[in-house]
Structure 1
Amino acid sequence: MHIRLTAILLLMLGFSAAAQQKQNILFICIDDLRPDLGCYGNKEIHSPNIDSFAAKAAVFKRQYVVVPTCGASRAAMLTGFYPRMKEALSNDAMEKMIAGKPRGEKPETFVENLRRNGYYTVGIGKISHSADGYVYPYTAPRSNELELPNSWDEMLMDAGKWQTGWNAFFAYADGSNRQSRKGEVKPYEAGTGDDEAYPDGLTAALAVKKLKELAVKKQPFFLGVGFFKPHLPFNAPQKYWDMYDESRISLTPSPGIPANVNPASLHPSAEFKSYKAGEEKPSLNGPVSGAYARKLRHAYYSSVSYIDAQVGKLLAALKENGLDRNTIVVIWGDHGWHLGDDLVWGKHTIFEWSLRSALLIKTPGMQRGSDIERVVSSVDIYPTLMELCGVKTPVQTDGSSFVPLLASPQTAWRDLAYSYFKQGITVRTPRYRLTKYFRKEEPTVELYDHETDPYENRNIAAEQPDLVKKLMKDWEKGNTGVFGK
């Protein structure tokens, strides 16, 4: 019955039985992209290319990542597993769990699974944690050790004048980077020059070239393209800054620490403050000035608009090469980001600001877009893509395929997403977020009602003990033991 239903759904999504095994995948990873896009309701942002794509795609309005830090978030998405060991919570999760390990002794990424099933796999830029897919320290020359050794037929990067992927990741337009300038840099820059004055423009150009090559290859492909921005530093060419009137950019609706919350649930924005030339230093003791907050949000928005333009180049190349008729396209942000929300500038919390990110998917047969309000997790992406491509997974992942939601958003679905960080586990339901921390600082339990408090400004756990007890049953299902039982 399930096989028959899947076949019907795939036909509804534009897949013929003969072509089902031959769908290509273009997977676009965007670093630190919270759902600040026009298609997600942000009326201030300029994101015309992604918004145009969204008009014919499924836009997941409630997609949550598993871990709010780059490497661990991508590890969970690529392998389909929640963290069960502390290594899975760190940025070097894939380096520790996958790099240098023989097959059978490590988690397998869905890219590796596609490759074993006949796909030609290419990665460009940051797909795993490493900026160019290779394992080496920030200030060292690039090594020859792949972070995901069995996933790629080709792992590519044009680092330009910055020479290595990590230098390019923290790039400034003059060819310097955060490391070479010993952190004495601002957390933003309006650069001179065109799109290729920064590394993401080079990545887009390389991806456009590769799409042309893949179009004549007699083999289905997976092309992963990882853009750096809007990760810090918020650098973009001047023309993207010019799209905004800084004085009209709104400030956060969450200007302080949420009520009944211990500051231990947040953090003092250490990553942000590593950009030492910033005009002001954030603190949990009080906000930065409104003028500086607008400057930083302006910088973030400009970086998003810059990446939107690069995404537009890829989508145009897909169509120009006739690949749009046979390619699944995914746009995914690896986690959210606090833009001064709750006094934080950064990710690394298990609040909505840090966990909710963009996810858009278009199959070749989609002609109209849809907003999907169901709660999904990034671990669901692996089984979903495998089902769309007719490829079996070698193991049972923690995720579930949401192919039925693509055809009918009202289909029965579990509507739960689990996330892990800061000695805490949180579960998101359609209405609530319940969080429990394994720590001494009280309170250790937080409950937010998104129907009455969409920005999580008040922890109501102490006021709703019966509701906490009820929701704790769902929370327990996500307790993998990573912090203890």
Structure 2
Amino acid sequence: MRSSLRLSLLIAAGFAAGVPLAAAEPAAASADPPAKRPNVLLLYIDDLRPQTADYGHPQMVTPHFTRLAENGVRFESAYCQVPTCGASRASLMTGLYPTRERFPNFLTWAERDAPGAKTLPQRFKEAGYTTISNGKVFHHPKDTADRSWSETPWKPAIGGRHYYNDATEAWMKTNEATRKLPNGKTVKKVPMWEAGEVDPLETSDGLIASKTMDDLDRLAASGEPFFLACGFAKPHMPFFSPEETYALYPRRDIELAEYRGWPEPKPAGLRGVKEQFAYVPMTLDMKFEVKYNSDDYHRRMRQGYYASVSHADDLLGRVTAKLEETGLAENTVVVVLGDHGWLLGEHDQWAKNTLLHEALRTALWFRGPGVARGAAVPSHVEFVDIHPTLCEMAGIEIPAGEVHGESFAHVLTDPAAPHRDHAYIRFGPGDAVVSDAYHYVRYRQPNGERSALLIDRKNDPLHTANHAGDPAYAAAEADMAAKLDGKIAKATGGGDDAE
């Protein structure tokens, strides 16, 4: 039997019906500390927003994310620091906030932007851990590699744009659409969608999962503590996912975003996202191109994203099953996260690279020794907090002032405990803070032009109205602006970026 049938068998067995855990009660944590230093298994899932069954999306077939949430804690208000992959990862790994000069975009190198900052895996390596990187962890595999990893970072020979079907190959032979890479090289565009005739373990991410499972066998045999990072590419565009994952989501059943307009009045600094134009929206049979932002385009984009999330779920299940099979699960902290949020047609936008809220809030789960079970964490956490949290769990001290993050280890044992009441994010010309009540963005263009966005999250969950400058919201805007000034000052040390 092909291993690609595994998802279908799981669904038939009834494991696909995830239940949101928003009201779940945490289990009592063990009073006994683990017998030895905990291992860490960090799973990065590129472009994963909180779009799983346990996050309240019952249409999603994500049984392994549900199991992860049932056996650990899920964060309801986790935020990246930069809504683009390279910068988000560099910020998390160094525990430092971004500034206009530090971690500005996806091409960021932590080595260049923060040369004196120790990385998260570096701290574990220096503490005697074996540290391993498989797939996409840092955006650039060589970034801080010598000091961060015990072994050379590994990636498969094929990447996320590798296609599998004869129809796709035939179309590529006649395709003339091109895109320019950051290095100036021009390459052919690939289709946006493919329901691949491929075994899940033979995809790019499947090969990464297989390597990670082999490493778990090897690490279990060694008995040494480890920090193992595994980075899957999907659901990053293009949405190339095994055909059975596409079959889980019939297009006719897919609902569209409730609101597809801009927040009005639209601030001058708010720009549309362009990443989706790097791919050609050909139908799955490669017969015609779909009109951009038509209802059909929206349904196909959501279908492809959902299918890719289910592919990631399948691989997550395989890796965590191997962790349990080796006997390592009892003493391993498992962290699973998306590197930022993602727009799925809200405001007629796609991907990230914007300070709209859907691009900022991300998915985050913790599971392991001392971590509560079946609980949702309401408090805000920032990705810079993950660095000091894992170090505290492993007993690794961080000298004062070396990171901007604050450990939330106390929340893992008591999910109702407070941590932060707002989070800071920046990208391009804008800086943002998000609280339970408001989402505030302040834009400053190079020409000095300024504009702002203030969303009333409780009364306007679809983010249709911009209340910046509205006298009725003057007090709220002043409070959010003060919070933002404080964050910028911390990020810059009170330097030129502070306002």
Match of 1:468 among 477, 481, 486: 477
Match of 1:111 among 99, 117, 121: 121
Residue 277 of structure 2 is aligned to residue 273 of structure 1: yes
Q: What secondary structure is seen at the aligned counterpart in 2 of 1:93?
A: coil
Q: What secondary structure is seen at the aligned counterpart in 1 of 2:98?
A: coil
- Residue pairs, 1:79-478, within 5 angstroms: 79-94=94-109, 97=112, 105-130=115-140, 133-134=141-142, 146-157=143-154, 159-160=156-157, 162=158, 168-173=159-164, 182-262=187-267, 264-267=269-272, 269-276=273-280, 278=282, 279-280=289-290, 282=292, 288-366=293-371, 368-396=373-401, 397-439=403-445, 444-463=451-470, 464-478=473-487
Query: Deviation digits for residues 268-322 of structure 1, max 9, x if unmatched?
Result: x32211113543464xxxxx11112101100000000001000000110000000
Whole-angstrom CA distance in 2 between matches of 1:219 and 1:443: 54
Contact 1:125/1:226, CA 8 A, preserved across alignment = yes
Aligned to 1:30: 45
Whole-angstrom CA distance in 1 between matches of 2:50 and 2:328: 27
Which structure 1 residue ranges, 5 or more long, are not aligned? 1-10, 135-145, 163-167, 283-287
Return the letter of the residue paired with 2:486: K
Return the letter of the residue paired with 1:152: W
Aligned to 1:54: 69
Percent sequence identity over aligned pairs: 32
Provide the alpha-carbon RMSD of the alignment: 2.4
Taking structure 1 as the reference length, what is the TM-score of the superposition?
0.86
Whole-angstrom CA distance in 1 between matches of 2:28 and 2:345: 43
Q: What secondary structure is seen at the aligned counterpart in 1 of 2:146?
A: coil
Whole-angstrom CA distance in 2 between matches of 1:366 and 1:113: 22
Residue 249 of structure 1 deviates from its aligned partner by: 0.9
Contact 2:267/2:452, CA 8 A, preserved across alignment = no
Label 1:352 to 1:151 Cα distance change in 2 as closer, same or farther (>3 A). Answer: same
Contact 1:62/1:356, CA 8 A, preserved across alignment = yes
Contact 1:424/1:435, CA 8 A, preserved across alignment = yes
Contact 2:197/2:242, CA 8 A, preserved across alignment = yes
Q: How many residues align?
A: 444
Whole-angstrom CA distance in 1 between matches of 2:459 and 2:386: 30
Bigger shift: residues 150-159 or 229-238: 150-159
Which structure 2 residue ranges, 5 or more long, are not aligned? 1-26, 173-178, 283-288
Q: What secondary structure is seen at the aligned counterpart in 2 of 1:462?
A: coil
Whole-angstrom CA distance in 1 between matches of 2:104 and 2:436: 25
Return the letter of the residue paired with 2:57: N
Residue 54 of structure 2 is aligned to residue 39 of structure 1: yes
Residue 80 of structure 1 deviates from its aligned partner by: 0.8
Bigger shift: residues 194-203 or 208-217: 194-203
- Residue pairs, 1:56-71, within 5 angstroms: 56-71=71-86
Whole-angstrom CA distance in 2 between matches of 1:90 and 1:158: 22
Whole-angstrom CA distance in 1 between matches of 2:436 and 2:55: 17
Residue 182 of structure 1 deviates from its aligned partner by: 2.8
Taking structure 2 as the reference length, what is the TM-score of the superposition?
0.84
Residue 411 of structure 1 deviates from its aligned partner by: 2.3
Contact 2:329/2:368, CA 8 A, preserved across alignment = no
Whole-angstrom CA distance in 2 between matches of 1:345 and 1:78: 26
Q: What secondary structure is seen at the aligned counterpart in 1 of 2:306?
A: helix
Label 1:385 to 1:14 Cα distance change in 2 as closer, same or farther (>3 A). Answer: farther
Residue 27 of structure 1 deviates from its aligned partner by: 0.3
Return the letter of the residue paired with 1:299: G
Q: What secondary structure is seen at the aligned counterpart in 1 of 2:40?
A: strand
Q: What secondary structure is seen at the aligned counterpart in 2 of 1:128?
A: coil
Contact 2:338/2:363, CA 8 A, preserved across alignment = yes
